[in-house]
Amino acid sequence: MRRQILSGVKMISGDEARAILGRPDACPSWCSLPKEGCLLRVRIAGSWRYPVFQFDLTNRRIDPGFVQILAAARAAEWSDLRLLNWLMRPHFDFDGVPAEALQDPDGAVLAAFLREIEPECHG
């Protein structure tokens, strides 16, 4: 299942991610991002890989909407793989997968994700 989830995700290396964000190798702020859970990353064949969709390539930063989604996923105790799976599965709110809609400024992906993690109330 892990292989199936990862197969459709465009990934980049840590060096490429640092280049997008304009952070040199020794930059303390780069080193703290993954450790603080500010980036989604997956270990593949012994090295960390980063899904491209989480980056705002135009502004050379982490997509602000994605930052909120990642924080909500962490608060809901979702694993990185589970979040990645949700982002890469077709969703009825979008004409494709949520990851492709992250750049839309309307916050629809965040709203859909917050609905997804909302505890079920049976009553």
pLDDT tens readout for residues 28-52:
666 666 666 678 999 988 999 999 9
In a domain, 90, yes or no: yes
pLDDT number for residue 28: 60
Q: Which residues pair with 50 in a beta bridge?
A: 12
Contact partners, residue 101, CB within 8 Å, separation at least 6: 94, 108, 109
pTM, to two decimals:
0.85
In a domain, 123, yes or no: no
Residue 99 Cα distances to 27, 50, 86, 88, angstroms:
28, 13, 9, 6
Q: Crossing angle, helix 64-75 and helix 80-88, to 10 degrees?
A: 130
Local confidence band at 23 (pLDDT 50, 70, 90 cut-offs): confident
CB 73 within 8 A of CB 113: yes
In a domain, 20, yes or no: yes
In a domain, 39, yes or no: yes
CA distance 97 to 34: 24
In a domain, 86, yes or no: yes
pLDDT single digits (tens) 96-122: 999 999 988 888 999 999 999 988 766
Q: Which domain holds residue 17?
A: 2-117
In a domain, 43, yes or no: yes
CA distance 9 to 36: 23
Q: Which residues pair with 51 in a beta bridge?
A: 11
**Number of domains, the chain:** 1
* Percent residues over pLDDT 90 in the chain: 53
In a domain, 122, yes or no: no
In a domain, 50, yes or no: yes
Q: Count of alpha carbons within 13 Å of 89, Cβ hemisphere only?
A: 14
